[in-house]
Amino acid sequence: KVSAVVFDKTNTLTEAGLDLLGVQAARQGSEPVFLGLEGSLDGLVAVTTAATDAADGLSVVSALATCHSLHVVDGALVGDPLEAKMLEFTGWRIDEGGLAPGSGSGMAPSMMVYPPGTKCTDPVLSGSVVDMQLAGAAGAASDAPGRAYPGGLEVARVFEFASELRRSSVVVRHPYSSSAQVYAKGAPETIRELCVASTVPADVDQAVERYTQGGYRVIGLAGRRIDLSPGDTGRLERAVAERDLVFMGLLVFENRLKPATAGVLRELRDADIRLLMCTGDNPLTA
């Protein structure tokens, strides 16, 4: 007689991947506070235009579009599925085939990222210029970041995710700018420790706990402006790039249950069978 059933979690009880439920941005001021959780690009652009975007040129949308290690291979995104969801949320597109306009360095950037409504040289299409305008609401919602960065953004340096550091970061610049932005994402407690204390909302721990106890995965987001010439980008040390950051908000991901999960578990419980779940996730999140 069966007395207990042990289930794997991911891709058994839940879907294989994570979905970006929304972004809870932080508004800077004398006392930084969280804005509401925004589950659409439209809403995120609206609330951050006068909030985090005003702080040293930082943009939550730009951070989502650039703070990753994704690449395009044969026309498809390759890399961390979580990062792919971030990029998909923004509607921005990657171009690894062209020079940064106006860079004057004679060297190709590691990557250019363009907002919807702009055009870029797509290496997949043999150098042809392709229209990046998205159909529907996603394209319309992106007008604001598109106007802010009409030439796209260069991801000039990537500091890959390291498990011992629990974070990753990028150095991003507008092709015509003499300054750059650093964007970092990772475990909320790690990101918080890298930030200037006065930029972190007082209730950040409570916010993270609320989401994790609800079964969501939470990622912290931060950034800062840095005076950095293109020639010095390669010599920038990671510890220098990732210090004195401005806290920008939380990314909230959900791992959705498969449609049949609830019914199956209910039947087993009604039969007095003990149910156990085996997972490597944080116990609070799982």
State pLDDT tens for residues 48-96: 775 544 556 789 999 999 999 998 888 888 999 999 999 999 999 898 7
**Active-site positions?**
8
Both tokens of 31, joined, read 């006392």
The domain in which residue 243 lies consists of: 18-254
DSSP, residue by residue, 46-74: HHHTTTGGGSTT--HHHHHHHSS--EEET
3-state secondary structure of 13: coil
Residue 90 lies in a domain: yes
How many CB atoms within 10 Å of residue 95? 20
pLDDT at 105: 44
pTM: 0.77
Residue 174 lies in a domain: yes
Residue 142, phi then psi, degrees to nearest 5: -90, 10
Q: Which residues of the chain have pLDDT under 50?
A: 52-53, 99-108, 121-149
Q: How many domains does the chain have?
A: 1
User: Do 126 and 143 touch, CB atoms closer than 8 A?
Assistant: no
Q: For position 216, which CATH number holds?
A: 3.40.1110.10
Residue 275 lies in a domain: no
Strands (E) across the chain are located at: 4-8, 19-27, 33-38, 71-73, 76-78, 93-95, 112-114, 119-121, 129-131, 153-162, 167-173, 179-186, 217-227, 246-254, 274-278
Residue 268 lies in a domain: no
Residue 97 is given by DSSP the state S
State pLDDT tens for residues 14-36: 877 788 999 999 988 888 999 98
Residue 58 lies in a domain: yes
CA atoms within 13 A on the CB side of 191: 30
pLDDT at 87: 94
pLDDT at 92: 92
Residue 270 lies in a domain: no
Residue 165 lies in a domain: yes
